[in-house]
Amino acid sequence: MCKKYILSLTLFLLALNAFGQDVALSPLSKISLLTVGTGQELAAKFGHSAIRAQDPTLGLDEVYGYGTYDFDDPNFYLNFTRGKLSYTISRIPFRYFKMAYVQEERWIKEQELDLDLKQRNQIVIFLENNLLPENRKYKYDFLFDNCATRIPLVFEKTLGNTFQFDYDYLSNRYTFRELIRQNLNPNTWSNFGIDLALGSVIDRRATPSEHMFLPIYVYRQMQHTTLNNAPIVKKESVVLDLPEQEDQPFFLWTPAFWLGLLLLLVAVITYRDVKGHTRLKGLDLALFTVTGLAGLLIVFLWFFTDHEATKENYNALWAFAPNSIMAFYLSRQRLPQWLGLYILLLLLLLGVTVIFWILQIQSFSILLVLVLLALSIRYVFLYRFISHQKK
């Protein structure tokens, strides 16, 4: 960072904190909204929103963004898993902001806001106040408190009642899950994992304002927002013109391939077991262990974390946590007769899962059909096998 920039930034911050000083930015200053396209990493799949403050008189070009986290925070991974991780607002020079997205090959669009000098100062003072050590941390929530949702709040708190959203442009309103899926290829492990981890609470229809948990909807909403009954967006431009990144993984790496292979293996092995009056213990041990561990993870996310989006997750019906215990019995050659009743319970739960899906109590990944078919085939076989076991 050059000395000129440090001096300008110091003078700028002193002006902000000066008692009774009405003007910190110059009349040539600008405030704009930056929207960033999607990237390859899961954390980048939903884009990013930030606020840019420019002032050629002071030689400043800063970007304020929420949703920053520090890997060096104590118990980072534990707090992240439990939904207790503190996120912060950050401020970086625009050139570094742009450089990062050049490297990630993600587009940047800019919407310059039609604000007077007082309003521009109010926004910057608000953001600088958020940057203070006692204010900068907040508990992140993917749906309700993220880098995008904080942007409209900044404008609402600084611009007052004359700042108005017009939600009529939303011809279709979506559920949270449908909004999430707009950014993900259904045949990817990230999409399958999200559908597995997130519960039925995200299957309710989002309000128009709640659509803005995604940066692209903040961008679109600003095109239909007024300040003093006039459009707030003064000018739109493309800062970094790059194509939207396609999420097209190699088919052999996709869940459709591997879950389809699982269904095929279960069907073939079960057919051989029926014909040979045998049972491949390894297959049953694997199925019960994996579904049991998945169920334990779902229960943990549902009951033992602060994540609102993981509540009421009925994937727990087919990924049944007690299977992790029952796997011990399936490793034996001879199965206890009472296990037949347990298998009937598992078949019933598979049926309830399908009913919940049909009734739209919870929407599941379409790829789950492959899993449910594989489990159904094996559970029916196990029930018949136990019933025909010699006393």
CATH number for the domain including 152?
A: 3.90.1720
Q: Which two tokens stand for residue 8?
A: 């300008």
Q: Is residue 53 domain-shared with residue 111, that is, in the same domain?
A: yes
Task: Identify whether 366 is part of a domain.
Answer: yes
Q: Is residue 336 domain-shared with residue 236, that is, in the same domain?
A: no
CB of 162 closer than 8 Å to CB of 227: yes
Q: Is residue 61 domain-shared with residue 132, that is, in the same domain?
A: yes
Report d(CA 295, CA 299) in Å as an integer. Answer: 6
Q: Does an H or E element contain 260, and which?
A: helix 255-276
CB of 50 closer than 8 Å to CB of 123: no
Q: Is residue 231 domain-shared with residue 349, that is, in the same domain?
A: no
Sheet strand arrangement including 30-36: 137-139, 86-93, 60-68, 48-55, 30-36, 108-113, 233-240
What single DSSP character describes residue 145?
B
Task: Identify whether 246 is part of a domain.
Answer: no
Show Cβ contacts of residue 321 under 8 Å, excluding neighbours closer than 6 positions.
292, 295, 296, 298, 299
Own/partner pairs, 70-78, CB within 8 angstroms, 24+ separation:
none
**pLDDT at position 141, please?**
85
Q: Is residue 231 domain-shared with residue 258, that is, in the same domain?
A: no
Show Cβ contacts of residue 208 under 8 Å, excluding neighbours closer than 6 positions.
165, 167, 170, 173
Coil vs helix vs strand at 165: strand
CA 49 to mean position of chain CA atoms:
14
Task: Identify whether 18 is part of a domain.
Answer: yes
Task: Identify whether 188 is part of a domain.
Answer: no
Q: Is residue 84 domain-shared with residue 124, that is, in the same domain?
A: yes
- Overall pTM > 0.85: yes
**pLDDT at position 8, please?**
47
**pLDDT at position 18, please?**
39
**pLDDT at position 29, please?**
96
Q: Is residue 224 domain-shared with residue 301, that is, in the same domain?
A: no
Task: Identify whether 178 is part of a domain.
Answer: no
**pLDDT at position 130, please?**
93
Task: Identify whether 197 is part of a domain.
Answer: no
What single DSSP character describes residue 246?
P
**pLDDT at position 83, please?**
64
Q: Is residue 224 domain-shared with residue 347, that is, in the same domain?
A: no
- 340 phi and psi angles, rounded to 5 deg: -60, -40
Sheet strand arrangement including 163-165: 163-165, 225-227, 230-231
Q: Is residue 307 domain-shared with residue 231, that is, in the same domain?
A: no
Task: Identify whether 193 is part of a domain.
Answer: no
Q: Does an H or E element contain 79, and which?
A: helix 76-82
Q: Is residue 271 domain-shared with residue 381, that is, in the same domain?
A: yes
Q: Is residue 236 domain-shared with residue 256, that is, in the same domain?
A: no
Task: Identify whether 179 is part of a domain.
Answer: no
Full pLDDT tens readout for the chain, 391 residues? 443 444 445 545 544 543 334 448 999 999 999 999 998 887 788 999 999 999 999 999 999 999 877 655 666 555 666 666 678 899 999 999 999 999 999 999 999 999 999 999 999 999 999 999 999 888 888 888 999 999 999 999 999 999 999 999 999 999 999 999 998 888 999 899 999 999 999 999 999 999 999 999 999 999 999 999 999 999 999 999 998 877 778 889 999 999 999 999 999 999 999 999 999 999 999 999 999 999 999 999 999 988 889 999 999 999 999 999 999 999 988 899 999 999 999 999 999 999 999 999 999 999 999 999 999 999 999 999 999 886 5
Q: Is residue 104 domain-shared with residue 157, that is, in the same domain?
A: yes
Total tally of structural domains belonging to the chain: 2
Structural domain for 314, as ranges: 251-386
